[in-house]
Chain A
Amino acid sequence: MGSITQDSLRLELVNISKQYPAVKANDSVNLRVEPGEIHAVLGENGAGKSTMMKMIYGAVRPDEGEIRWNGQAVNIRNPQEARALGISMVFQHFSLFDTLTAAENVWLGLDKSLTLAEVAQRMTKVEQEYGLEVDPQRPVHTLSVGERQRVEIVRALMTKPKCLILDEPTSVLTPQAVDKLFVVLRKLASEGTSILYISHKLDEIRALCHNCTVLRGGKVTGTVDPRLETNAGLSRLMIGAEPPQLQHIQARLGDVVLAVRGLTLPKEDHFGMNLSDIRFEVRAGEILGIAGVSGNGQQELMAALSGEDTRAPASSIHLFGKDISNHSPRRRRKEGLHFVPEERLGRGAVPTLSLAANTLLTRTEAVASSGWVRTKDVTTLAQELIRRFNVKTGGPDAAAKSLSGGNLQKFIVGREIHADPKLLIVSQPTWGVDVGAAAQIRGELLGLRDKGCALLIVSEELDELFEICDRLVVIAQGKVSPSVATSQATIEMIGEWMSGLWNKTVAKETDHAEA
């Protein structure tokens, strides 16, 4: 054991275990973080990363083991105590009040010895120091997602933490914003702040972190220097195997399946996004990807395409040349349009109902014309989906909520693929899905494309879009860019487009715009 370096460690976890009713989330894990170190915690969903962080932050208490802070054993009973020690955390889901200003939000999280004006002043100081510019007086709902994250980070930095925990901080950022964030984090580290960086994005970890602890199934499978590792090496530690390579056959383009023309739609609620004059086409046998930072109109566009929102103006959405703008989701499904929403529980599936019953949401083969449900057929269909798409579950009677995210996603994507759609629209196909399941889902989507189906895929993961799409468009501020063939696009260019700046590039390369 490194008893010599013990005193110089900022944070140490020794044989920490946490048992939840169904699962051992952390099984005797160890973690050693030095001052000024950017330490990655890598693992699939459900590997135990969040539990580990919650124990450090005092939100959950370990069953066994010891947490040492600057060499002293500590008992962190709640987040206040964690903050008092100098531990701050930036959560993946922002916890800001939309109607308050940035300064008011920061003020809420601090002890009340400071006035609001003082808080705003100190915010400005912190912001200048780290290049995190956000106007403290702006209401949060007017801020972009990247700016909101900056508010969260500024809030965390206000207490001058010695250890900053960041949970999947880049999932909502453009590549350029990620670079900016890394600059800030490196500066913080150089001043002696330890940073715990939770992620499953291998490239980022290799670019940023000094050290990396890999978790799998609640256990530490390795602590490595990510700068010396390959993606394959890290991924082996994370999932125990390398993700299978995808077969990518040249696209055989068919007719135009989906044509969106002049789709303009005012937002339905206060915090939505207006869609303005959206136009694009998807042909049979190709995958069109929609890139973009979340909250730029993806939700609204998906609702208009799926039929959940039928306010789209007449003749703005065509399926095989037929105007479907005001058709209901059921009618669109009959016409061959199937959709996989990003929320699995509560939208793509009813949490408390069985998998068998959940097939009935979009599949009506087992419903007789009289409206009678042939329960045997329903069960058979569910069994078939479970078998074909390799869903790990107790069986067709298992409640949807009892499945892990990846398995439920396989089931839902499988349910729509199995319906033999002519156009499949998928929103965030692998969000929160582990690497193995993600590879399987991507493979299934490619297989469907090769059979001549048209696919439209919305994802925030650029790597994923580049991996499976034939063409890309970018959505920003409710507008959609012209399309570009994936082979001619670069991450940098798409990243720039994600900020809405495509007119420059397009003017230069009009020829390439339409593939």
Chain B
Amino acid sequence: MLKLEARPEASKVMSVMSPVLALAVTVVIGTVLFVLLGKDPMRGLYVFFVEPVKSVYALTELAVKATPLILIALGLAVCFRSNVWNIGAEGQFIVGGIAAAGVAMTADKETGRWIVALVLLAGVFGGMVWAGIVAFLRDRFNANEILVSLMLVYVADQVLGYMVYGPWKDPAGFNFPQTITFLKSTSVPKLFPGFRVNIGLILALIAVAAFWVLLFRTYAGFQLQVGGLAPAAARYAGFSSRRALWTALLLSGGMAGLAGALEVAGPLGQLTPYVPAGYGFAAIIVAYVGRLHPVGIVFSAILMSMFYIGGELAQSRLGLPKSLTGVFQGLLLFTLLACDTLIHYRVRWQAARPAPPKPAAAALVSTAAAATTERAA
């Protein structure tokens, strides 16, 4: 009989190996999945894990997808470390995109390239406002930020729909729900001619360094994390929980808004109802698979983009449904959560024993009561 036994202390090796192990398990389950779908598993895996990194163009496409994931996940990592559960990065991404589009559409033929900075700042601002609503409702009315931020995603989606179907609809666009194509001057500068990857990638890498410094080298970052790890200790130390709430939400909202602006003024070049591509939700997985660590997030974002691209390729090459992307993402998160158990526990083989001792119902009741009294005390 397999038995889980608590480790005396968390395994350092496993905390690094757990994501690797999770990936391996995902691959195995993926193989089974391909077989069940009647496809050649080798070809399936090739499409998911080799094609996205096969050529320079493929690599740049990978970077295009990874950039927003990194930006959003960095902000979310700060949030989650501060015990603030912002689930609505997707909404902040959308509003960031809308705000950026608003600025981009003010450009005319004479506008210089400086407008790009304004476009991106507008995106940051838009995301901050959207996340600020969550912070305000939580701060003022103690509203649950998980629900509020999640519901605001759908509100943002409706706002986007209203804009592209209504006031911002391109008059020359054959009634399609989309804005005008933004002028060249507003588009985010590309890194290399001929490839879609733009300076957003550089911004993302700078952000990785900045967030690492914030989390591990500044007092502000320390305060945020203490608030998340042990709220009573933060109160004892005198770290403001209100400030932590606002900082975490504004920071993550701003990052999601920046990602939205980069997307709208970058690869998309106009506002359409299809701006939300699920980056905001995928970034939650990215943040966790990356251990809420800025450097880890880079790797997990690359992995997640491989799933995105692999999913698209699987659709065109193998005739598999695109939702396979979601299946792989979910698989990875689940296997990661399972593998994380090994950080705190080790598996031991043990001879089966008759009837494992079950805690008596009364004992259960009394532990529950003990927990309540302790909290009350």
* A22 in contact with B8 (CB, 8 Å): yes
Query: Smallest distance from the beta carbon of A346 to chain B beta carbons, Å?
Result: 5
C-alpha spacing A328/B237, complex, angstroms: 9
* A108 in contact with B365 (CB, 8 Å): yes
Inside 8 A of A341's CB, which chain B residues have their CB?
236
* A373 in contact with B359 (CB, 8 Å): no
Q: Does B7 contact A (CB under 8 A)?
A: yes
Name the residue on B nearest A111 (C-beta). Answer: B362
* B358 in contact with A353 (CB, 8 Å): no
Inside 8 A of A399's CB, which chain B residues have their CB?
9
* A357 in contact with B236 (CB, 8 Å): no
* B373 in contact with A347 (CB, 8 Å): no
A350 and B357 in contact (CB under 8 A), knowing A271-B376, A360-B219, A364-B219?
A: no
* A91 in contact with B370 (CB, 8 Å): yes
* A347 in contact with B363 (CB, 8 Å): no
* B230 in contact with A339 (CB, 8 Å): no
Query: Smallest distance from the beta carbon of A439 to chain B beta carbons, Å?
Result: 26
Among A61, A308, A339, A361, which residue has its beta carbon within 8 angstroms of that of B357? Answer: A61
Q: Does B151 contact A (CB under 8 A)?
A: no
* B372 in contact with A361 (CB, 8 Å): no
Among B8, B236, B363, B369, which residue has its beta carbon within 8 angstroms of that of A96? Answer: B369
Inside 8 A of B363's CB, which chain A residues have their CB?
59, 78-79
* A357 in contact with B366 (CB, 8 Å): no
Q: Does A276 contact B (CB under 8 A)?
A: no
Within 8 A of B (CB), among A67-99: 77-80, 91, 93-98
Q: Does B202 contact A (CB under 8 A)?
A: no
Q: Does A109 contact B (CB under 8 A)?
A: yes
Among B218, B238, B357, B373, which residue has its beta carbon within 8 angstroms of that of A329? Answer: B238
How would residues 342 to 382 of chain A score, 1 for a CB under 8 Å from any chain B CB and 0 otherwise? 01001111111100010011101001000111010000000
Name the residue on B nearest A378 (C-beta). Answer: B222
C-alpha spacing A91/B5, complex, angstroms: 26
Within 8 A of A (CB), among B341-365: 355, 357-360, 362-363, 365
How would residues 324 to 343 of chain A score, 1 for a CB under 8 Å from any chain B CB and 0 otherwise? 00001111110000010101
Q: Does A295 contact B (CB under 8 A)?
A: yes
Name the residue on A nearest B9 (C-beta). Answer: A402
Among A109, A271, A331, A339, which residue has its beta carbon within 8 angstroms of that of B362? Answer: A109
A78 and B360 in contact (CB under 8 A), knowing A96-B369, A98-B373?
A: yes
Among A22, A347, A373, which residue has its beta carbon within 8 angstroms of that of B217? Answer: A373
How would residues 228 to 240 of chain B score, 1 for a CB under 8 Å from any chain A CB and 0 otherwise? 0110110111101
The total of chain B residues at the interface (CB under 8 A) is 37
C-alpha spacing A46/B365, complex, angstroms: 26
Tally of A-B Cβ pairs under 8 angstroms: 120
Q: Does A452 contact B (CB under 8 A)?
A: no
Q: Does B277 contact A (CB under 8 A)?
A: no
Q: Does B42 contact A (CB under 8 A)?
A: no
Q: Does A48 contact B (CB under 8 A)?
A: no
* A94 in contact with B237 (CB, 8 Å): no
Query: Smallest distance from the beta carbon of B45 to chain A beta carbons, Å?
Result: 37
Q: Does B6 contact A (CB under 8 A)?
A: yes
A373 and B219 in contact (CB under 8 A), knowing A78-B360, A95-B366, A98-B373?
A: yes
Name the residue on B nearest A140 (C-beta). Answer: B373
Inside 8 A of A349's CB, which chain B residues have their CB?
233
Among A78, A339, A357, which residue has its beta carbon within 8 angstroms of that of B358? Answer: A78
A329 and B237 in contact (CB under 8 A), knowing A350-B226, A367-B219?
A: yes
Within 8 A of A (CB), among B1-45: 5-9
Among A141, A346, A371, which residue has its beta carbon within 8 angstroms of that of B220? Answer: A371
* B233 in contact with A361 (CB, 8 Å): yes
C-alpha spacing A359/B297, complex, angstroms: 28
* A371 in contact with B233 (CB, 8 Å): no
Name the residue on A nearest B231 (C-beta). Answer: A346
Among A93, A98, A330, A372, which residue has its beta carbon within 8 angstroms of that of B237? Answer: A330
* B373 in contact with A339 (CB, 8 Å): no
Q: Does B374 contact A (CB under 8 A)?
A: yes
Inside 8 A of B106's CB, which chain A residues have their CB?
none
How would residues 367 to 406 of chain A score, 1 for a CB under 8 Å from any chain B CB and 0 otherwise? 1000111010000000000000000000000010010000
Q: Does B367 contact A (CB under 8 A)?
A: yes
Q: Does B377 contact A (CB under 8 A)?
A: yes
* B373 in contact with A96 (CB, 8 Å): yes
C-alpha spacing A343/B230, complex, angstroms: 12
* B355 in contact with A77 (CB, 8 Å): yes
Inside 8 A of B235's CB, which chain A residues have their CB?
308, 329, 347
A361 and B218 in contact (CB under 8 A), knowing A80-B362, A271-B376?
A: no
C-alpha spacing A505/B232, complex, angstroms: 39
C-alpha spacing A375/B266, complex, angstroms: 40
* A350 in contact with B233 (CB, 8 Å): yes
* B236 in contact with A339 (CB, 8 Å): yes
C-alpha spacing A400/B373, complex, angstroms: 25
Query: Smallest distance from the beta carbon of B128 to chain A beta carbons, Å?
Result: 21
* A21 in contact with B357 (CB, 8 Å): no
* A93 in contact with B365 (CB, 8 Å): no
For the complex of A and B, the 5 pairs showing the least CB-CB separation, nearest first, are A329-B238, A95-B366, A22-B8, A330-B238, A271-B376
Which residues of chain B have a CB within 8 Å of any CB of chain A? Answer: 5-9, 217-220, 222, 226, 229-230, 232-233, 235-238, 240, 355, 357-360, 362-363, 365-367, 369-370, 372-374, 376-377
Given A332-B238, A350-B233, A360-B222: 19 more A-B contacts, CB < 8 Å: A21-B6, A59-B359, A78-B357, A80-B360, A93-B370, A93-B374, A98-B372, A105-B369, A109-B362, A329-B236, A339-B236, A350-B226, A350-B230, A351-B229, A351-B230, A353-B226, A353-B229, A371-B219, A402-B9
25 A-B pairs with C-beta separation under 8 A: A59-B363, A61-B357, A78-B357, A78-B363, A79-B362, A91-B366, A93-B374, A95-B369, A97-B369, A105-B369, A328-B238, A329-B236, A330-B237, A332-B238, A341-B236, A346-B233, A347-B230, A348-B233, A349-B233, A353-B226, A361-B226, A364-B219, A371-B219, A372-B217, A373-B218
